[in-house]
Structure formats: C-alpha cells, structure tokens
Chain A
C-alpha cells in the first residue's frame, strides 16, 4: 500500500473512531450510573440528524444554528426518555429497564418511520467541510480533520465537567454508590437527567458529523453505529469516559485497517465489532480502562 493511501485510511479511521467514541460516551456514562444499556442511544443519534434536516430545509435556518438547536433538542429528548421509560423502573430488576430500553428504541425507530417515512433524506451539507482538499498528493476532506478535533475538544470539556465541577463530582459519586450519594443530599434524579442530557448531546454532535460524512439519513441509521459504539464502550471499560474514546478509536482503526489490508473481508465488516466484543468479554470483561465491578451479595 502506498503511503498516500495509508495516510487517507489513517485519517478515515481517526474520524470513524472518534465518532464511535463520542457515541460510546453516552453509553458509558449511563451504564456507569444506572447499570443500564441504553438501547435507545443509537436512535437518539439518528433523531439529531432529522432535527438538522428539518431545521435547514423546513425552517430555513443557517446550518450552524440548526446544528446547535439540534444538539439542545436531542439532549431534551434524552431527558424525556429517562423520565418516561427509565425513572419508573429505578427500583425494578435491572433487566426490566433493559426491556424498557429495547421498547423505547423500537418505538422511536417506528414513530420516525411513520412521520418521516423510510425514504432516505439528504443531509444538508456544510460546503466548507466537504470539499476535497489536496495536501501534496493526499486528497482529503476537511471534515476528516475537523471531526477528530471537535470530538477531542468535547471529550476534554466533558472531563473538565466531570473532574472540576460539583455536578461532575455528583455523577462520579453516584456511579460508586447511589444510596450513599442520596444520603449526602445529592438530588439523584436531576443528576441522572443531566447525565442523559450530556450523553445525548454528545450523540447528537456525533450524529450530525456522521451525517456530513454519510449524507443519507433514515430512521434505522442509528442501529448499527449504536451497537458498535456500545461495543467500543465495553472495550474501553464501561463507566470510563477516556476508555470509551479509546475503545472507539480501536474499533475505528480496526474496521478501516482490516479492510484496507484485506479487501476480501469487506463483506464481514459489520461482524468485526461483534467478534472483538466476544474476544474482549472472554479475555478481559472489564475492558482496558474499566474498574472491576463486584457483585454485591
């Protein structure tokens, strides 16, 4: 493989990986706090792209305003889902909440199918980001450089919130012991709502950037990236934000590089992530940066 090709694959992998990482953050934060796989997260990711689509095409908003509004609206959706489908089940067996999450996921997909139809829509483009630029002999989209930059800044901001602010402290405390934190006078439900809001906002940012790269949006576009991002969260060690990002990058590089070096395997692309998942769970179930979760007896 020529060096130019390798550079292109490298940047593609970096972009894909940081997008997986951003989505994975939502999974890892919710799982860290509630021990719940938020199946609806992939659908939240999908909804954000529709907000941008309707903001730009229906309300004629400028692209950036539509994107910001979409992030806010998606965060609100995250809070709403928690309020309606998960909060009533806080004291129920964990699996009930998981089934509820699967129900919510199917509900969002199908309600979008009803309202927006299954016809793929074109994502409004931001021309600056999607015009090919030549750097020497490497042809590259500015998007491919902007996405990792935005992603890493978002993660840095999130880490600041988590480790330097009171609500961040509360989140970390809840993930250690929810009952004790409640006794310390922390309003559990608002902190959990905030967690959902942050996770959904990250997914929205990822969704919008994803749709710039793959500009066909449809109600089921979130399913596969959602699963893969969850796998990234598990690989990185569930509960850890840095781990989620690392897991996302590992997965992104694995997918792009395996196909780059062995094009014959491209049909199996969607299976790589799941094979990685089963391997990771077999070898090191806590992931690369996760803490050991102990079963309480």
Chain B
C-alpha cells in the first residue's frame, strides 16, 4: 500500500470520525455524550503515560500532578474575571491571575506547556534515578503539587477549588485534541527519536553505548508526556466544570495506569482500545454501587465494589496477560488491507 493511499484512508477515517462526532452531538443524550468526552480525554492521558512508561520505560506515577497543573492553568485562564472575584472568598485572587484571560485553545495549550515546564524541571533531578525510585519520586512530586495547590489560596482558591469553569470542552474540542495527540505521538514514535526511546527502554546501557544521548531523549519524552497530561487535565477540568486539589490524588494516576496496562504497554492502539473499554466499564459498572430492585428482592448497592472489580482486573491482566487485552498489536492500514484481501481470496 503506498503512502498516497494511506493518506486518503487517514483523511477518510478522520472524516468519518468528524461525522460521528457531529451526529453524536445532536443524536445522543447528555450522559452518552459525557462518556464519549471522557473516552477522548482518557485516550490523551493514556497515550501520554504510555509514551513515558510503555515506550521509554520510565515508571512515572506523577500523572495526577501534571493534570492538576494543566487543569488549574487552563481554568484560571478561561474563567471570567468577575466570576473569579466572586469565587475567591477565603483570600482575594492576586494580580495578574485575576485579570488573565485567553481563548480556550490557547488556555489548553498553556496548561500543557505549564505541565511540560514542570515536567522538565522535575526531570532534571529524578531522571537520574532508575526504575521504581523514579516512580516513587514522581509520585512524591504529584503529592507536593497537591499540597501546594491546597495552600496557595490566593492563586488556586485552596481546598475549595474552582467552580463553574466554562464548559468549552465539548465533543469537538476533545476529539480535536485527541486526534492531535494521537497524530503527534505516532509521528514521534515512528521517527528515529522513537527508535531511540525504544532502545533506551530495552537496554539503557546498550543505548548509551550506541551513542544515544539517553538523558536528553528521556527528558524530551518526559516533557512531551507531561505536556499531553496537562492538556488532558485542562480538558478534564473544563469538561466536569469544577476542580479541587483533592481530585488529583493517586487514584487518578491509578486509573490511567490501569488503562495503559490493560491496553498493553508500548502500544498506541492498545491505549486507545484500553481507554474506550475502561471508560465504558467504569461507567457501566456504576450499577454495582447502586441499589437494584428486581421484583421483590432489593440488592443493596455496595460503595467501593467498582474499584474492587477493577483492581482484580488489573491484577489478573498483570499476572496472566502481561501484554494487555489486544496483546501488543499495533493497527496499520497494511494489516487491514491484507486481512480484507485474504477474506476476498477465501470467497
């Protein structure tokens, strides 16, 4: 299959996605639209973690921290000044945050950039650490962000959080950013830089011996991952219209890690599939926490049951299917073409 055909196929697929989004906007009820939105945001988050962990082999548990930075920067930029004045009741908001305003696209970009900046800043000391030390240090970073955001009341409104964030992040914006992040990350991974990352993941010492500047590659990968985590956080904030520091706890990182592990480490297709499956399951399984009445029987809902099921699923996958639900498969038009041709030959 030549490059031209693939471009046409890509554009067709995008057109179909655009049509679907357009249809979903009017044709589906609010709840389903919300689930579709969450899927898009989770794809962005899962891809960013997969880039850091699945492709570069850096075990990072700081995603919630980057998301918090992205969400707060974006929210402060899109909430109107008058509303900010009213909301900050503990301590008035300080200049220049009180008057800052930006269009949504720029605000999301700024959220991502701020997260990337802090990602690079933290990467200087922590990337010297290997394996699980890196995990615990990034986890510590996320905790520090959370504590700091709770305490810098004049900027973040402290524990009260920000409410009434304009909900610009509809389907159109979310899927725009989703497609953009898939495109950039796939491009990045199929370039020579992507090969460097995989080399570092498989054997860092060997990669260094081949002349790869491992520190720079790792820092760039971490920065790009943090950028998209920030973008995901910004979209998430605008999507659910209210954020507070407590929201960005370890549980959030756990959910994204679960998507990446279930989808398959080091697989873009896996992350997308994982995000779709886990998001839908997370919503669908809410029924176990509600009280259900079937005829005369009343089955009481059990709070916490959802996470029990999910942690068991994660354990099962890591113990028995380490390559994820689709087994490390990567989608390509060539494969699809071959599959179709074989089907044709069978007939």
**Interface residues in chain A, defined as those with a beta carbon under 8 Å from any beta carbon in chain B:** 35-37, 85, 88-89, 92, 94-96, 98-100, 102-104, 106-107, 109-111, 113-114, 117-118, 223, 227, 230-231, 234, 267-268, 270-271, 273-275, 277-278, 281-282, 285, 295, 297
Pairs of residues from A and B, 6 with the lowest C-beta to C-beta distance, nearest first: A274-B140, A113-B304, A107-B311, A271-B147, A106-B311, A110-B307
> Which B residues are CB-close (under 8 A) to A118?
303-304
A-B contact count (CB 8 A): 115
Contact with A along B282-300 (1 / 0, CB 8 A): 0000000000000000000
**Shortest distance in angstroms between A112's beta carbon and chain B's nearest beta carbon?**
8
| Pair A89/B308 contact, Cβ less than 8 Å | no
> Which A residues are CB-close (under 8 A) to B304?
110-111, 113-114, 118
> Which B residues are CB-close (under 8 A) to A113?
303-304, 307
Q: How far is the CA of A249 from the CA of B310 in the complex (A)?
A: 37
> Which B residues are CB-close (under 8 A) to A278?
125-126, 137, 140-141
Interface SS majority for chain B: helix
A sample of 22 inter-chain contacts (CB < 8 A) reads A36-B132, A85-B315, A85-B319, A92-B322, A96-B322, A98-B135, A99-B257, A100-B318, A104-B315, A107-B312, A111-B304, A118-B303, A223-B250, A231-B140, A267-B147, A267-B151, A268-B147, A274-B140, A274-B141, A277-B136, A281-B137, A297-B205
**Is there a chain A Cβ closer than 8 Å to B130's Cβ?**
yes
| Pair B143/A99 contact, Cβ less than 8 Å | no
From the candidates B131, B144, B307, B319, name the one contacting A271 in the complex (CB within 8 A).
B144
Q: How far is the CA of A275 from the CA of B140 in the complex (A)?
A: 8
**Shortest distance in angstroms between A267's beta carbon and chain B's nearest beta carbon?**
4
Contact with A along B150-193 (1 / 0, CB 8 A): 11000000000000000000000000000000000000000000
| Pair B147/A114 contact, Cβ less than 8 Å | no
> Which A residues are CB-close (under 8 A) to B125?
278, 281-282
| Pair B126/A103 contact, Cβ less than 8 Å | no
**Interface residues in chain B, defined as those with a beta carbon under 8 Å from any beta carbon in chain A:** 59, 125-126, 128-133, 135-137, 139-141, 143-144, 147-148, 150-151, 205, 250, 254, 257, 261, 302-305, 307-308, 310-312, 314-315, 318-319, 322
**Shortest distance in angstroms between B124's beta carbon and chain A's nearest beta carbon?**
9
| Pair B59/A114 contact, Cβ less than 8 Å | no
> Which A residues are CB-close (under 8 A) to B310?
106
| Pair A100/B315 contact, Cβ less than 8 Å | yes
> Which A residues are CB-close (under 8 A) to B314?
99, 102-103, 106
Q: How far is the CA of A252 from the CA of B315 in the complex (A)?
A: 34
| Pair B151/A277 contact, Cβ less than 8 Å | no
Q: A98 and B307 in contact (CB under 8 A), knowing A88-B319, A278-B137?
A: no
> Which B residues are CB-close (under 8 A) to A100?
315, 318-319
CB-nearest residue of chain B relative to A283? B125
> Which B residues are CB-close (under 8 A) to A267?
147, 150-151
Q: How far is the CA of A22 from the CA of B205 in the complex (A)?
A: 37
**Shortest distance in angstroms between B18's beta carbon and chain A's nearest beta carbon?**
36
> Which A residues are CB-close (under 8 A) to B141?
274, 278
**Shortest distance in angstroms between B150's beta carbon and chain A's nearest beta carbon?**
7
| Pair B319/A274 contact, Cβ less than 8 Å | no
Q: How far is the CA of A223 from the CA of B143 in the complex (A)?
A: 12
Q: A102 and B139 in contact (CB under 8 A), knowing A85-B315, A274-B144?
A: no
| Pair B132/A270 contact, Cβ less than 8 Å | no
From the candidates A95, A114, A277, name the one contacting B131 in the complex (CB within 8 A).
A95
